[in-house]
Amino acid sequence: MHLAYPAVLSALLFCTGLYGVLARRNAILVLMSVELMLNAVNLNLVAFDVWLSRAAEETLHSGQALTLFTIAIAAAEIGIGLAIVLAVHRNRGTADIDKLRDTAERHDSDGPDHDALAAERSDEDQKAEATA
């Protein structure tokens, strides 16, 4: 079989997962996309292992061994990742990635929108107190 088939399929799957990671809003969908990327890598590993086990003398089947490891690590990652997403959802009421903006620039040094932002924030605080 032509080696380019699995290689190209792997590349395309990887980029699909990449798009998903970058474009999806829900954290669980992002995790799914990460799984896609990992599987693309796995396919690459398996394909090259099969190729090299015929072409080279001694390969120790490293590709397949690493694939197994990757699968195991992916399982661990999905477990931890879901736990984190659940924790975030519990604390913030949302699992949307683009609402988790704690590292954003605060505009508190200068700039015209500082006051407006502060007023807005204090409004939010008041509303929060009112609802609570």
Residues within window 57-86 making contact with another protein, judged by CB under 8 A:
60-62, 64-65, 67-69, 71-80, 82-86
**Site for another protein (CB under 8 A): which residue of 4, 116, 118, 119?**
4
Total residues at interface with another protein (CB under 8 A) = 93
Would you say 54 or 57 has its CB closer to another protein?
A: 54
Instruction: Say whether residue 56 binds another protein (CB under 8 A).
Output: no
Instruction: Say whether residue 128 binds another protein (CB under 8 A).
Output: yes
Instruction: Say whether residue 116 binds another protein (CB under 8 A).
Output: no
| 61 CB neighbour count, 10 Å cutoff | 14
Would you say 73 or 118 has its CB closer to another protein?
A: 73
Instruction: Say whether residue 20 binds another protein (CB under 8 A).
Output: yes
Distance linking the first and last C-alpha atoms of the chain: 65
Instruction: Say whether residue 117 binds another protein (CB under 8 A).
Output: no
Q: Which residues contact 56 (CB under 8 A, 6 or more apart)?
A: none
Instruction: Say whether residue 90 binds another protein (CB under 8 A).
Output: yes
The answer to whether the CB of 33 falls within 8 A of the CB of 20 is yes
Report how far residue 88's alpha carbon sits from residue 27's, in angstroms, rounded to the nearest whole number. Answer: 10
The answer to whether the CB of 13 falls within 8 A of the CB of 50 is no
DSSP secondary structure letters along 28-55: HHHHHHHHHHHHHHHHHHHHHHHHHHHH
Instruction: Say whether residue 16 binds another protein (CB under 8 A).
Output: yes
Instruction: Say whether residue 87 binds another protein (CB under 8 A).
Output: yes
The answer to whether the CB of 52 falls within 8 A of the CB of 59 is yes
